[in-house]
Amino acid sequence: MKFSQKVFTNTHELNSFLESFNPLDFDFHLIFADKSYFDSAEVRLKIKQAFNNSIIMGCSSSGEIIGSKMHEHSFCITSVKFEKTKIKKECFHLKDASESSLAGETIAKQLSGEGLKHVLILSEGINVNGSRLIEGFNKAIDKTVHVSGGLAGDNALFNITYVADLENNFVDNCVSALGFYGDITTETSSYGGWDSFGIDRTVTKSKENVVFEIDGKPALDLYKSYLGDKAAELPASAFYFPIEMRDSENSELLVRTILGINEEENSITFAGNVSEGSFVRLMKTNVNRVIAGASKSADILIENSKKNSELVILISCVGRKIVLKQLTQDEIEAVTDNFTNEVVFAGFYSNGEISKSKFIDDCKLHNQSMTLTSFSENE
């Protein structure tokens, strides 16, 4: 593989680069950037024009990762040239969240074909039901195909996110996916590092990602009783106290981030579905464990990889960044320091992470995790 990486901190630097850059020297371009760049119609047009006839996989983020560094309010480009791999991109423009499952199933069918090894998904990060998106995708994709990705971010404002479509327009309400075909080896991993506490409780009333009752009691009241003084800081303090969820006693544990609360309904809205009858347990922050979790994700990836990685994409949850604060750089280094060979790193902080489950063949929507994807064409 051949790579080129650039970081820009303002539109003047970006525009100067785009005037002389030849994107056709590469097969595709990963672009992760602060949403402020895409808020500008002028900048969006210049990007579209500069990358004409090229493939962009990109989205707005809540922090950008390039090399072993985390950047904020930046525009990061990682350009990739393959020797043996073919790629194909597909997109789906959502009318509303009810089309999430359809989006996943449609894109999976469009990308399915001979030689498909991996699919990288970048999705709108607010007006999508991430759980339904992945459920739809799992219906139509071969179980041997590796899948990973994330939901776009906007610095935890939860207002608008942008994803590059087929015409390289950065737009809202878009799901994009890139298929990798041929002689390429990929691996995925995902790990959190949060501590759960208390007893298992049963979700007794919910609809999609909104929970109304837990153990027959109003969900928000019960959650506030755990938070104590921190309840006054909701919804911001919810990032420090996600929940651990499992659909049944023997199913995989998933973490769900709280996106909002409704005082009138006494309900809690999560970043992914929490089904009725599922078991939940409150979680709490330990920064050392969160950083160790990032390192553990790297350990899992390296242990399972059949070849030395050439490119590793890091997608970490914005909730981790909010909790870690100035220690965010430490979790990135906890990943990159694990690799002894020369590796190109790129990624972003997201509203949700996508990767294969530990115990079954389907991919899952994760929250509060460090999710890694490696790519290699080497012998």
pLDDT-derived band at 357 (thresholds 50, 70, 90) equals low
pLDDT-derived band at 358 (thresholds 50, 70, 90) equals low
* pLDDT at 379 > cutoff 90: no
pLDDT-derived band at 1 (thresholds 50, 70, 90) equals very high
pLDDT-derived band at 359 (thresholds 50, 70, 90) equals low
240: helix, strand or coil:
helix
pLDDT-derived band at 2 (thresholds 50, 70, 90) equals very high
- Which has more pLDDT, 198 or 104? 104
* pLDDT at 253 > cutoff 70: yes
Q: What is the pLDDT of residue 68?
A: 94
* pLDDT at 190 > cutoff 90: yes
Of 163, 158, 159, 106, the residue nearest 132 (C-alpha): 106
Q: What is the pLDDT of residue 81?
A: 97
Q: What is the pLDDT of residue 226?
A: 86
Query: Within 13 A of 79's CA, how many CA atoms are on the CB side?
Result: 13
222 phi and psi, to 5 degrees?
-65, -40
Element (H, E) at 11: helix 11-20
Mean pLDDT over 117-130 rounds to 95
- What's the CA gap between 354 and 138, in Å, rounded? 12
* pLDDT at 252 > cutoff 80: no
Q: What is the pLDDT of residue 158?
A: 87
Mean pLDDT over 186-201 rounds to 90
Element (H, E) at 101: helix 100-111
- What's the CA gap between 228 and 216, in Å, rounded? 21
Q: What is the pLDDT of residue 220?
A: 94
Q: What is the pLDDT of residue 169?
A: 97
Min mean pLDDT across 8-22, 75-89, 135-149, 235-249 is at 235-249
* pLDDT at 361 > cutoff 90: no
User: How is residue 24 written in tokens?
Assistant: 């056709």
Q: What is the pLDDT of residue 94?
A: 97
> Distance between terminal CA atoms of the chain?
12
pLDDT tens for each residue of 267-309: 999 888 999 999 999 888 889 999 999 999 999 999 998 889 9
Mean pLDDT over 338-353 rounds to 93
- Predicted TM-score (pTM) of the model is 0.93
| Mean of pLDDT over the chain | 93
- What's the CA gap between 281 and 113, in Å, rounded? 41
Mean pLDDT over 201-226 rounds to 94
- Strand positions, DSSP E, 215-351: 217-218, 243-246, 254-256, 258-262, 267-270, 279-284, 311-317, 344-350
Q: Please state, as a whole number, how many other Cβ atoms lie within 10 Å of the Cβ of residue 342.
A: 8
Q: What is the pLDDT of residue 360?
A: 60
* pLDDT at 133 > cutoff 70: yes
pLDDT tens for each residue of 221-240: 999 998 888 888 887 788 88
Domain boundaries defined on the chain: 2-191+289-376, 195-284
Q: What is the pLDDT of residue 103?
A: 97
**Contact between 138 and 357 (Cβ < 8 Å):** no
Sign of CA dihedral 208, 314, 119, 73: positive
* pLDDT at 177 > cutoff 90: yes
Q: What is the pLDDT of residue 271?
A: 83
- What's the CA gap between 238 and 2, in Å, rounded? 42
